[in-house]
Structure 1
Amino acid sequence: MADAPPPDATGAGKRRGGTSGKVADFRYKRPAQPEKKRRDARSGHERSGPERSGRERSGQASPLPSQMRPDAGAQSRAGSARRQAYAALDLGTNNCRLLIARPSGENFTVIDAFSRVVRLGEGLAASGRLSDVAMDRALAALHVCAEKLRRRNVHLARSVATEACRRAANGERFIERVREETGIALDIISAQEEARLAVLGCHILLEDGRDGTRGPAVIFDIGGGSTELVLIEPGGPVPRILDWMSVPWGVVSLTDSVDGPDGTAAGRAARYAAMRAIVDKSFAPFARRIAPYRDTDEGIRLLGTSGTVTTLASLHLELPQYDRRAVDGLVVPSASMRDISTRLSTMSEAERGTLPCIGDDRANLVVAGCAILESILDIWPARDLAVADRGIREGILRSLIAADAEGERSREELQRARDVTRSGASL
């Protein structure tokens, strides 16, 4: 995307995840385990099914990448690539998400999906390690994903892990355990690759600038353990990255790093101010670097992809329950998002839990997301905020499908060259 890797003032890109940037081509294999263990795993999947997030979706069109089927090599390649299923799995600090899709024209059609809150990074800030309970939660979700990959006979897949596994001392060991028990090969990607995939997955929503706004844009992804911000140059089918930053503050890591409220309005205000101060300090180098880009006659744009922005967008629309079709691609006045953030920060956790589209899962974490969002609005004061319910998984899918199609073209060209050579030799 960028001509050269953009600067990372946080140094996050120097952590584990050096293989990121490559298109993974993992041939899914069933884990070797006793029959009784397989039966127990299957029954565990059935029990965990009702816990799926209400945001799980299938049958919706979007651009995506992939997983593969074990017998793919035995199939005829002619015309088969467009019928094959691809999968993208994103194991984050808070959520485990899977998309399975087939190419459809320039985009793709989702044929299966899964999303579950696993809280993999719970307690990580204090201990520096993934807890046994958190790993067990994540593994239960990954067993469900593995079964979906098998059932959908996936052709190509890429499975990635982000900040929690980057930071945890036992992150690599957990990745090995996942491979052994589920057959899923997770790639711990760098913060830079995470930012690139998020941009690739959602930048299309910036194409129609409101009121002719076509200036530079910041795309951000508020995750569970980190937040990525990317400044992009407008124009072109794939945007050019001008600058970027990743900070180790997401809704889980920031929540865990600030003492809980004391139950009073003053205590809640003080806690929110402390969160804002932490994030403002981390964002400061990026804010200084991008400041010159704010002064443009074409106007500046802002696009956010995360549970925080989709939740706040739902509250803005006063939806009785989450509806991706209403939220993905929505443009909301930034002032409205600020007002909602401020209101949520003054409420108790119990009060937030009663609001539609928040519930118990997000009631504790959404305040940290609001603090991060307000800091972003301070450093990039766009009038409106575009909302994306898409990101890393869609970026992976786009990469996988494009790479597979390119590989198919290369194979066909090589075969034609061989045919010409044979034909010439027979004359």
Structure 2
Amino acid sequence: MQRGDMVRVASIDLGTVSSRLLLAEVKDGVIVDSRKRTIITDLGEGVDATGRFLDAAVARVLKACSSFVEDIEAFAPRAVCTTLTSAARDASNGQDLLDGLERLGLVPEVIPGEVEAKLTFYGVAHDFPGERIAVADSGGGSTEVVVGRYTPGEPLEVECARSMDIGCRRVTERFLSCQPARAEDLEAARDFAREQFEPYWSRMARRPERLVAVGGTVTTLVAMDRGMQVYDSSLVHLHDLELSQVEAAQRRLSTLSVEQIAALPGIQPKRAPVILAGSLVIGELMRTGGYGSLTVSENSLMAGMAATLYEALCKEVPAIGWMPRVSC
């Protein structure tokens, strides 16, 4: 295969809260057509407290991946990559999940936080060619922040990439297990987030003008703000989200039970237990970085993976400097 060829690739990303599938047609490293599926499987349930996956959580992920495999077989891609992130890095019994994935015919790989960050940055930065940006991916167990620049035809510039152990599932289990939330628990969660993010921003001489964020928390906050009864990607991708809107969501969510949150327009019921914590994380990320608004992107790690798979199939050194394990 060589540059200019069109190729089909598939990417599975197994995160702390959701399991995701991307089926993409890629040309010259750019996705020209794609289909996505997301299933909230809550793999990280209890991991922060116990250091182990629950059997039920493993079963949920394997069930989701079994359906993904059916979709992949029908799509017939040239290459498939399966990655696991924060929860799998933390769980002492992660091999149980890896073994189950291998039985499905997948080749799973637990990726380091910095690789996760660079893949996400690469996927997002295609929409901002030549622009120095900060990209944040706030998930269930960790938040990755990368500052850099991507200019087509030139090496990827990454100035600072860091993965921090803070995400909506982790913050929920540590501080917000009781909802409606108590004022002291909300403040403790904010303090925890601030302590994570302030050192990252303080080491940076000049912060990028644009902060781009990906992940289920920010897309849900947009959907919630717009009162979406049915999720519309076209109204979310590259939409600006103001800090004032995030803070308004925090105030509203903090007064509600999980059941009441689940009934709100724009909220996936399975995300209801963790969206308050997610909004606190995003709010402190913005506040400590000095950002009054951010840009929401629906591109993510999987878009970066699709571009990286294309480079690997062309026998090129991937732009992010990491070669994925591939099943065909």
Query: Fold match, TM over 0.5?
Result: yes
Q: Could you tell me whether the CA contact under 8 Å between 1:206 and 1:386 is conserved in 2?
A: no
Give the stretch that moved more between structures: 278-287 or 389-398. 278-287
Q: Which amino acid aligns with 1:188?
A: V
| Structure 1: tracts of 5 or more residues without a match | 1-76, 209-213, 408-427
The CA deviation at 1:115 is: 1.5
SS at match of 1:84: strand
The CA deviation at 1:104 is: 4.5
- Change in 2 beyond 3 A, CA 1:218/1:105: closer
The CA deviation at 1:386 is: 0.4
Give the stretch that moved more between structures: 281-290 or 162-171. 281-290
1:71-82 matched pairs, under 5 angstroms: 82=5
Residues 345-375 of structure 1 deviation map (CA, whole Å, 9 limit, x = unaligned) = 3333232222111142121100110111111
Q: Could you tell me whether the CA contact under 8 Å between 2:26 and 2:306 is conserved in 1?
A: no
Q: Could you tell me whether the CA contact under 8 Å between 1:218 and 1:380 is conserved in 2?
A: no
Q: Which amino acid aligns with 2:145?
A: L
What's the counterpart of residue 199 of structure 1?
Answer: 121
Q: Could you tell me whether the CA contact under 8 Å between 1:203 and 1:239 is conserved in 2?
A: no
What's the counterpart of residue 286 of structure 1?
Answer: 200
What's the counterpart of residue 124 of structure 1?
Answer: 47
Q: Which amino acid aligns with 1:130?
A: F
What's the counterpart of residue 225 of structure 1?
Answer: 141
Q: Which amino acid aligns with 2:192?
A: I
CA distance in 2, matches of 1:235, 1:183: 34
1:206-285 matched pairs, under 5 angstroms: 206-207=128-129, 216-232=132-148, 234=149, 236-237=151-152, 239-261=156-178, 263=180, 267-285=181-199
Q: Could you tell me whether the CA contact under 8 Å between 1:313 and 1:337 is conserved in 2?
A: no
What's the counterpart of residue 242 of structure 2?
Answer: 333
Count of matched residue pairs: 314
What's the counterpart of residue 366 of structure 1?
Answer: 275
What's the counterpart of residue 87 of structure 1?
Answer: 10
Query: Which of the residues 147, 161, 165 maps onto 2:84?
Result: 161
CA distance in 1, matches of 2:37, 2:268: 19
Residues 1:142 and 2:58 are matched in the alignment: no
Residues 314-357 of structure 1 deviation map (CA, whole Å, 9 limit, x = unaligned) = 22333332111111111233332332233323333232222111
- Change in 2 beyond 3 A, CA 1:112/1:389: closer
Q: Which amino acid aligns with 2:171?
A: L
- Change in 2 beyond 3 A, CA 1:106/1:359: closer
SS at match of 1:195: helix
Structure with the largest fraction of strand:
2
Residues 83-104 of structure 1 deviation map (CA, whole Å, 9 limit, x = unaligned) = 4321111011111111111124
What's the counterpart of residue 415 of structure 1?
Answer: none
Structure with the largest fraction of helix:
1
Residues 35-78 of structure 1 deviation map (CA, whole Å, 9 limit, x = unaligned) = xxxxxxxxxxxxxxxxxxxxxxxxxxxxxxxxxxxxxxxxxx69
| Structure 2: tracts of 5 or more residues without a match | 317-328
1:370-409 matched pairs, under 5 angstroms: 370-406=279-315
CA distance in 2, matches of 1:150, 1:350: 37
Tell me how large the CA RMSD over aligned residues is. Answer: 2.3
The CA deviation at 1:406 is: 4.3
TM-score (norm 2): 0.88
CA distance in 2, matches of 1:159, 1:110: 20
Q: Which amino acid aligns with 1:230?
A: V
* Divergent runs of 4+, >4 A: none
Q: Could you tell me whether the CA contact under 8 Å between 1:161 and 1:188 is conserved in 2?
A: yes
Q: Could you tell me whether the CA contact under 8 Å between 2:179 and 2:257 is conserved in 1?
A: no
SS at match of 1:281: helix
The CA deviation at 1:235 is: 6.1
Residues 222-265 of structure 1 deviation map (CA, whole Å, 9 limit, x = unaligned) = 11111111122x463365221132111211111112252265xx
CA distance in 2, matches of 1:381, 1:110: 36
Q: Could you tell me whether the CA contact under 8 Å between 1:206 and 1:303 is conserved in 2?
A: no
SS at match of 1:175: helix
Q: Could you tell me whether the CA contact under 8 Å between 1:333 and 1:385 is conserved in 2?
A: yes
CA distance in 2, matches of 1:168, 1:357: 31
SS at match of 1:147: helix
- Change in 2 beyond 3 A, CA 1:78/1:315: closer
